[in-house]
Structure 1
Amino acid sequence: MISPKIENGDLVLKDGNLVMISGDEELIQSVQSTLRTRKGEFFLDPEYGLSYDNLLGKDLSEEEARDDIIEALSKDERIGAVKDISFVKEGRTLKVSLIIQKQDETELTIDEVDLNA
């Protein structure tokens, strides 16, 4: 897939043109976008995104949060499996790092996606 590059929520322009990305860079951006979007928030696809129900509050259930992340990412046909998920809670901020296995069985590491949970 080819997508416009997004940094800090903004489209990236270079010399007045949209910067486009593909391959692993686009897949990583897609995973980050899925995790940062609350399920039901995107009006064109209410099933897109991550359920934040198990991410909010003081008592984070990592097991339930893992299940929610795997469910959200399983909708992307390019992802074969989620191999590892780790959480870092800093105050009110929750960051997730993960390793995904693509359908071709290569792995990608995605570091510290800020969920603002």
Structure 2
Amino acid sequence: MKALQVDHTGDIVMQNGQLQEVRGIDEIQQRFRQLLRTNKDEWFLDPEEGFDYSVIQGKNVNENDVQAALDDVADQMDEIESIENVNLDFDRSARKLTVFFVAVLADGDTFEIQEVL
């Protein structure tokens, strides 16, 4: 599969006046990041799409709830078999949660993600 490449802000990437594309594992990784950045029940065309941000809001974030929410995002993509090695880094003063994990694809390939939520 292929898609237009977007940068970390969600803007479409252009180089020398040409739209850039991503393919293969890079496209899967980009799509997964987009799902993480979409709050579940936010997009009216598919309210089930995205990450359940309610699990990371509040003072007592539960790692098991975050893992379940990540698994739910993985279930939204046929290419991803599982999420492993989840590590959470809370920066309470900045009110940020950084998640690190490995996504295992159905074909056995893997990729790592680090995302600030």
TM-score between both structures, scaled by the size of structure 2? 0.91
Partner of 1:104: 107
Give the SS at the match of 1:89.
strand
Within 1, Cα distance between the matches of 2:19 and 2:104? 29
Gaps of 5+ in 2: none
CA deviations 1:35-91 (Å, max 9, x no partner) are: 111001122211110111111011110111110110121110000111221111123
Give the SS at the match of 1:66.
helix
Runs of 4+ displaced beyond 2 Å: none
Matched residues, percent identical? 27
Give the SS at the match of 2:69.
helix
Gaps of 5+ in 1: none
Please provide the CA RMSD for this pair: 1.1
Structure richer in strand, relative to its length: 1
TM-score between both structures, scaled by the size of structure 1? 0.91
Contact 2:74–2:81, Cα closer than 8 Å, also in 1? no
